[in-house]
Amino acid sequence: MSESLHERTRAVVERYIAALNAHDPDAIAACVGENFLNEHTSALGTSVRGRAAYRERLPLFLGQFQDLRYEVEDWIVDGDRCAVAYTMSCRYVGGERSHPVVIRGMFRFRVARDVIVHRVDYWDSTEFSRQVQVEAPS
C-alpha cells in the first residue's frame, strides 16, 4: 500500500526538522526545492528564495544559533500543507557573548514532489531581542 499525500508531506517535514536539529546544511538543503521560498514574518528575519541561496546562508545561521533544537509541540497536516508549532532553543552567539534563547513559533510548509517548496516562519523578534539583550554596564 502506498503512502498517502498526508503521510508523505509529514515525512518530508519530519526529515527537514531532523536535519535542522542535526545542524547539517547539506541535509537541510536537500529537503527543499530548487525554487524554495523561505519566508520570515518577523522583523528580524530575512526571507530568501532558492535552494542555493538558502544553503549558502545556513553555515552562518547554524554558527549564530548554536545547539539549535526544534521541539515539535503540534502537527497539522492537510494534503500538501503542514503547520508545525514548535519551541526553538539554542545558544545565540552575537559578538563575544552567547545567550541562551527559547522561542515558541510556528512553521507553515507547502510540499511538492517530496520537497519543501515554501516555508513561512512565525516567531516573536521582540522576545528574541529581550533574551539576547546585553545589560548596560553599571
In-domain check, residue 110: yes
Q: 137 pLDDT exceeds 60?
A: no
Q: Is the dihedral of CA 36, 87, 40, 44 positive or negative?
A: negative
In-domain check, residue 122: yes
Q: How many domains does the chain have?
A: 1
In-domain check, residue 137: no
Domain CATH for 118: 3.10.450.50
What's at 19, amino acid-wise?
A
Does this model's pTM top 0.75? My answer is yes
Q: Domain limits at 30?
A: 5-132
pLDDT digits (tens, 9 = 90+) for 18-31: 999 999 999 999 99
pLDDT digits (tens, 9 = 90+) for 34-63: 999 999 888 788 899 999 999 999 999 999
In-domain check, residue 77: yes
In-domain check, residue 138: no
